[in-house]
Amino acid sequence: MNTKLHAVSDTLGRPIRFFMSAGQVSDYTGAAALLGDLPTAQWLLADRGYDADWFREALQDKGIRACIPGRKPRKVPVKYDKRRYKRRNRIEIMFGRLKDWRRVATRYDRCPKVFLSAVALAATVLFWL
């Protein structure tokens, strides 16, 4: 069993919201699931997997500016703020801190509900550290 964990974090890199999808599913599924629960923000930083025109338009409707690099096969390149995009390392650091928990890193739990609850427990502790 393979899963993907999609997350929303604040500017300090603290986890706020999670969504788990099947491993072979596109990142668009996680983007659509987390779109309704996004907190108020000025910018959203994401990697190339979340590059879609509908996602950018939905963010614009919410008043959030997207800082997402375009996918390689795009015919018209997308402009994004490269200096701001470098701050995305905070999200990677958050995932690294989650993986400090052995249960999360090794995917001890085979049941997705139990695994997500272990992630939520780790995220709760990380939020306050």
Residues in the chain with pLDDT values less than 70: 1
Give the pLDDT score at 1.
58
Tokens 């025109």 label which residue?
53
Q: Total domain count for the chain?
A: 1
Instruction: Tell me the pTM.
Output: 0.84
Tokens 């969504």 label which residue?
19
Give the pLDDT score at 107.
83
Put residue 19 in one of left, alpha, beta given phi > 0 → left and psi -120 to 50 → alpha: beta
Structural domain of residue 62, as residue ranges?
3-128
Give the pLDDT score at 27.
85
Question: What's the chain's average pLDDT?
Answer: 89
Q: Give 11-42 pLDDT, tens digit per residue.
A: 888 999 999 988 888 888 888 898 888 888 89
Give the pLDDT score at 112.
86
What CATH number did the domain enclosing 107 receive?
A: 3.30.420
Q: Between the CA of residue 60 and those of 11, 63, 125, what are the distances in Å?
A: 19, 5, 32
